[in-house]
Amino acid sequence: MAGSLTKDQNEQFVEEGYLFFDSLLDPERDLDPIIEEFEAILERLATELYEGGKITSRHADLPFGERLAKIVQETVENYTRYFNPSLPPRNITRDTPFWAGPAVFHAIRNERILDVLDSLIGGEIYVNPIQNVRLKIPEHLQPRNPKTGEILEGATPWHQDGAFFDPEVDNADMITVWFPLSDATVKNGCLAVLPRSHREGFAIHCPKGTKINPAGLDRIPEHIFDVESMVPMPMKRGGALVFHRRLIHGSLPNTSNALRWSLDLRYVPIGQPTGYPQLPGFVARSRTNPEAELHDAQKWHQMWVDCRERLADKNAVPPLHARWSADNPVCN
């Protein structure tokens, strides 16, 4: 199989379920343009909220993380959707915000990422439409949701990525690539993984409304797996973590004074299901048909614009996490 990985790296992925890279991406060439795009988004958002009377200042003198924290504190809202290079799978309106900018597009198509994937799933690589930006404000700076009493975005609970998709994806060779835009540390909420957990199939995830999970994302209850064996994955800017769809992982709480921001991207072999056929993916690499590859960032953006228009105000899409039952006894 082609690609950039050594035999040992391929074997490690099979055995452990993940690969850690100290410097997969170039911080200045690959990451700084994303940060510039996000700073421009925050500038527009701050101006809109200020002119609408929702914040008392644009906080233009503050760096990105502090500025975002001030806006969140004043409005008690989570603005991640304004930066996300994807639409939600349901409840889409013509005003649903998203960001499909050229810097993010080029990161998704980064040749070093594709070379790693080429080793793992082959040279026919399709971009899954579920891509996420994580903007983890320090927990002590976050307001609490007036309805639930919880902070707006804390530690990501233990889960497996494949568990958030329709069962048709259970046997797809979906790979997640996670990388931070600044150094990820134990203190600011880096990822932690459970090595070799991908071998055990999917664990039970408890949905919102259960004793284990009164409110929040579906999660694996800690009493059904060896949570003490979770391994933190701190990394420098430019590093990346590549992992299997069944690897148990989550993020630690951000107890620092600075923002922890990151992207997680997903890929499958061409022809395998993405789990969300109503959302647009694209061919990132095809050794057999290179003409099928998408290289135009504007076309990618337009795909999402067209998708939003097509799905606006339609609620025919199945519920996101319907596969997990709130009646499961391990959740109550």
Domain extent for 308: 7-317
The token pair at 157 is 């609970």
In a domain, 125, yes or no: yes
Maximum Cα interatomic distance, the chain, rounded to a whole number of Å: 58
Assigned domain for 158 exists: yes
Residue-wise pLDDT tens digits, 200-225: 899 999 998 899 998 888 999 999 99
Q: What is the pTM of this model?
A: 0.95
Q: Is the pLDDT of residue 232 over 60?
A: yes
Cβ-based neighbours of 170, under 8 Å, separated by 6 or more: 162, 202
What is the pLDDT at residue 326? 86
In CATH, what number is assigned to the domain containing residue 287?
Answer: 2.60.120.620
Query: Which pLDDT score is estimated for 235?
Result: 98
Give the whole-number percent of the chain exceeding pLDDT 70: 96
The answer to whether residue 330 sits within a structural domain is no
Q: Does residue 265 surpass a pLDDT of 60?
A: yes
* Residue type at position 201: G
Mean pLDDT of the chain: 93
pLDDT for 3 equals: 81
| Residue 325 within any structural domain of the chain | no
Q: What is the DSSP letter of 256?
A: S
**Do the domain assignments include residue 331?**
no
Kindly state the tokens that stand for 260: 């922890």
Q: pLDDT at position 320, please?
A: 52
Whether 36 is in a domain gets the answer yes
Q: Is residue 2 part of a domain?
A: no
Number of domains in the chain: 1
Q: Which of 230, 123, 232, 133 is nearest to 179 (CA)?
A: 133
What value does the mean pLDDT take over residues 23-44? 98
